[in-house]
């Protein structure tokens, strides 16, 4: 029985697959199931990862792949050129390059990376950079690092040679760029402004940034693993759009004259600063805007005076910033001032236009030296009372009480209506950076005293440009013209020219009133406080101004000014000269008629012929001038004979070897000299002798001539009377034979305001 059971048991086990064979098969099935589950999970994970890459990170990876497969090179746009009204270049861009690197991708020819120490050393030497600063920049996490901007061709050639010598193949970029240059240096610097940090920072450069700047272009193409461009039929070329050229209304010649005489007047009168505005009243064109101090546009962050340079290192950043801003300021449009008696022309125009006064009514006003307004005594500037006056005489004598009385006739409402009409309550709208607005007391707060002081030009502030625009309306027939600094814009890519037409804001006064204002201005120069502004051969009108110190800022001192127009019949130029805080030590005058009027005369004398306005002067003075002959290369005896025959005196500058041939002369040939002038003749090796120009103010022509000839200097004289101005500042060292131009006027009786 047991055997049967045993046999049966084996049979049963075999059939059921139980035992060793059964266990193996069970383990295999379990493993297969696990593998299937794992495979399924991996497949699901892979599908998820693919979906994540495709749909979640797809755009990012696509961009990264594109960056690795393409290279983009910038094409610099050229900034537009700035011209003056005579087509002279004031600002121009020249081709330079910007050097940058693809960080960690600068490779040798063999494909290995160039050490950053090697790069820093090379860049520092080639571009005059600080090694440590350059190395720190290279060790940054930036992918693209700019090494040097506006690099000239010579430095680029050095870089290429260095790369070749060091077997550097890729990773250093040389991209086209431009450098801004100002051919005239400091001339009109406060007007033009300068370019920096890839945009205009001051003046016209900043205000006309949109027209001047242009838009950079790009070249986009495929790149290999070394980031080198490879041939690609899908290469994209996006051309640069160059900036437009702009043409200013500024005339370089007139600007030079304005700056020359302004600088001279400031030095002579120890003034803290000053400005000159010259405008063509018929269309608002600004012919010159001169400020003091100026600065060199090619080095705008360099202190502009020896004193400032000396103190620079001890200054804080805030102090330096304040000094630079003062240096850059375009004072005629940025700095308000009290116009003083020049403003009496505006008050006169209002009274005439409103039929409240006529020009020549005898005894229309009365000056008793002091005029009482609301229990306040307001003095006239003159030492003695003017008595009974017509409006013309009140303007000629610049009588304060007379204009207080006229202001009372006008009244506050009408006064403010005309302030608005003359554009004095808002900016002129000239397109230049930094224009300031006027400061007037509100009409509601304008009471008797305020109206009285405003009527003769004090206790409010306007900019010099606002005043010139308003006076231009008084003398051009009555039209307020918006000041214009740019006459046209030229698209350099297409050649299309866009003319910027003059803008008439509104008519303020009638032609009849305008004619009366011009007539009274002429009287100021012929018989009034503006005698020193007269110009031989031209009709000139004007008005002097002397504004008293601001009670809240007495340290600012007086402002001496003079506004002139010429010719009277059809004015081509309005000239405003303003000197800030002149002669603060009391060593000279602070009155506009005495120190600003001669400057206006000098400016007009030079610019009126340039504007094509013929002189009506007789030929007597012209006939007395003799053109100096060229005697260089002639023997001393021949040269002496030629010059003495023309009436000149000879000063011989011979070397020790007693050469007998003239190698140079001074003044130069072609100079027009008066008979009896001195000519210096030089032989080989002879040295020049310098002399200091004396102070000739107040001297007669004969006294001035004697003083100059004692120093072997010459003179040119305009006018008669006593010297009121000289074109070379006293104390300046000049070469023997130099011509000093003198302006003479009849002595002023009773002073000048």
What residues does 175 pair with on adjacent strands?
98
pLDDT at residue 18 tops 80 = no
Question: Above 60 in pLDDT, residue 228?
Answer: no
Which of 255-269, 296-310, 317-331, 715-729 bottoms out in mean pLDDT, i.e. has the lowest?
715-729
pLDDT at 723 over 60: yes
743 or 401, higher pLDDT: 401
Q: How confident is the model at residue 225 (pLDDT cuts 50, 70, 90)?
A: very low
Residue 231 predicted with pLDDT over 70: no
Check: CB of residue 483 under 8 Å from CB of residue 207.
no
pLDDT in tens, 538-584: 999 999 999 988 888 888 899 999 999 999 999 999 999 999 999 99
Q: What is the mean pLDDT of the chain?
A: 88
pLDDT at 3: 44
Question: 115-147 as b/e, with b when 16 or more CB fall inside 10 Å?
Answer: ebeebbebbbebbebeeeebbebbeeeeeebeb
Q: Among 336-350, 646-660, 673-687, whose mean pLDDT is lowest?
A: 646-660
Contact 648, 627 (CB under 8 A): no
* Per-residue pLDDT tens digits for 504-546: 999 999 999 999 999 999 999 999 999 999 998 899 999 999 9
Question: What average pLDDT does the segment 236-265 reach?
Answer: 92
> pTM for the whole thing?
0.78
Comparing 11-15, 41-45, 200-204, the range with the smallest average pLDDT is 11-15
Which of residues 8 and 318 earns the better pLDDT score? 318
Question: For residue 75, what are the β-bridge partners?
Answer: 217
**Among the listed ranges 5-14, 93-102, 504-513, 677-686, which one has the minimum average pLDDT value?**
5-14
* Whole-number Å distance between alpha carbons of 644 and 632: 15
For residue 118, give both structure tokens: 């090697």
How far apart are alpha carbons 600 and 248 in whole angstroms? 23
Q: With a cut of 80, say whether residue 278 has pLDDT above it.
A: yes
User: Tokens 């049967």 belong to which residue?
Assistant: 4
| CB distance 460 to 440 below 8 Å | yes
Overall size of the chain counted in residues: 753
Q: Is the pLDDT assigned to residue 14 strictly greater than 50?
A: no
Q: Omega into 667 within 30° of 0, i.e. cis?
A: yes
Alpha-carbon distance 682 to 639, whole Å?
11
- Residue 216: CB atoms within 10 A of its CB come to 16
């Amino acid at each position: 029985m047991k055997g049967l059971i045993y046999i049966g048991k084996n049979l049963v086990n075999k059939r059921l697959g139980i035992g060793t064979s059964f266990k193996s098969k069970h383990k295999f099935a379990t493993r297969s199931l696990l593998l299937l589950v794992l495979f399924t999970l991996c497949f699901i994970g892979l599908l998820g990862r693919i979906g994540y890459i495709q749909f979640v990170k797809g755009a990012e990876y696509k961009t990264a792949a594109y960056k690795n497969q393409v290279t983009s090179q910038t094409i610099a746009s050229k900034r537009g050129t700035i011209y003056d009204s005579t087509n002279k270049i004031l600002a121009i861009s020249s081709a330079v390059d910007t050097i940058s690197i693809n960080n960690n991708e600068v490779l040798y020819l063999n494909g290995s990376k160039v050490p950053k120490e090697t790069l820093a050393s090379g860049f520092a030497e080639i571009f005059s950079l600080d090694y440590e600063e350059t190395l720190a920049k290279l060790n940054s996490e930036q992918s693209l690092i700019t090494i040097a901007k506006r690099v000239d061709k010579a430095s680029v050639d050095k870089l290429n040679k260095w790369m070749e010598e060091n077997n550097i193949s890729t990773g250093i970029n040389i991209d086209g760029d431009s450098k801004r240059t100002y051919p005239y240096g400091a001339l009109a610097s406060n007007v033009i402004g300068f370019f920096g940090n890839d945009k205009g920072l001051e003046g016209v450069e900043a205000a006309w940034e949109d027209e001047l700047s242009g838009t950079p272009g790009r070249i986009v193409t495929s790149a290999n693993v070394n980031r080198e461009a490879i041939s690609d039929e899908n290469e994209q070329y996006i051309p640069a759009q160059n900036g437009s050229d702009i043409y200013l209304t500024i005339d370089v010649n007139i600007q030079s004259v304005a700056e020359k005489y302004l600088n001279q007047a400031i030095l002579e009168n120890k003034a803290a600063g000053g400005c000159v505005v010259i405008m063509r009243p018929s269309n608002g064109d600004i012919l010159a805007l001169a400020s003091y101090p100026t600065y060199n546009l090619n080095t705008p962050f360099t202190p502009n005076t020896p004193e400032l340079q000396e103190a620079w290192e001890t200054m804080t950043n805030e102090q330096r910033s304040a000094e630079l801003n003062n240096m850059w300021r375009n004072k005629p449009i940025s700095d308000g001032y009290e116009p003083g008696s020049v403003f009496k022309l505006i008050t006169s125009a209002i009274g005439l236009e409103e039929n409240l006064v006529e020009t020549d009514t005898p005894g229309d006003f009365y000056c008793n030296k002091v005029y009482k307004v609301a229990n306040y005594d307001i003095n006239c500037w003159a030492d003695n009372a003017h008595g009974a006056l017509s409006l013309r005489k009140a303007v000629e004598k610049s009588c304060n009480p007379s204009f207080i009385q006229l202001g009372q006739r006008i009244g506050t409402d009408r006064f403010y209506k005309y302030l608005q009409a003359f554009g004095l309550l808002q900016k002129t709208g000239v397109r230049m950076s930094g224009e300031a607005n006027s400061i007037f007391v509100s009409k509601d707060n304008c009471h008797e005293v305020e109206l009285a002081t405003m009527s003769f030009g004090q206790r409010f502030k306007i900019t010099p440009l606002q005043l010139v625009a308003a006076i231009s309306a008084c003398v051009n027939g009555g039209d307020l013209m918006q000041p214009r600094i740019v006459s046209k814009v030229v698209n350099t890519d297409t050649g299309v020219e866009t003319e910027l037409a003059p803008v008439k804001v509104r008519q303020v006064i009638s032609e009849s009133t305008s004619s009366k204002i011009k007539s009274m201005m002429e009287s100021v120069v012929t018989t009034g406080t503006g005698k020193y502004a007269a110009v031989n051969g031209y009709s000139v009108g004007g008005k002097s101004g002397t504004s008293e110190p601001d009670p809240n800022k007495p340290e600012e001192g007086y402002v001496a000014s003079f506004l002139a127009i010429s010719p009277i019949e059809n004015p081509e130029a309005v000239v405003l000269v303003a000197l800030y805080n002149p002669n603060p030590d009391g060593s000279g005058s602070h009155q506009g008629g005495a120190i600003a009027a001669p400057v206006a005369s000098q400016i007009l004398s030079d610019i009126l012929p340039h504007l094509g306005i013929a002189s009506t002067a007789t030929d007597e003075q012209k006939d007395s001038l003799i053109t100096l002959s060229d005697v260089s290369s002639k023997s001393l005896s021949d040269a002496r004979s030629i010059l003495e025959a023309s009436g000149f005196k000879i000063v011989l500058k011979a070397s020790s070897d007693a050469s007998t041939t003239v190698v140079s002369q001074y003044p130069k040939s072609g100079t027009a000299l008066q008979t009896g002038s001195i000519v210096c003749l030089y032989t080989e090796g002879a040295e020049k002798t310098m002399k200091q120009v004396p102070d000739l103010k107040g001297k007669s022509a004969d006294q001035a001539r004697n003083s100059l000839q004692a120093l072997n200097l010459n003179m040119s004289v305009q006018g008669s009377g006593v010297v009121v101005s000289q074109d070379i500042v006293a104390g300046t060292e000049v070469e023997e034979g130099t011509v000093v131009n003198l302006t003479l006027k009849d002595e002023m009786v009773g002073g000048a305001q």
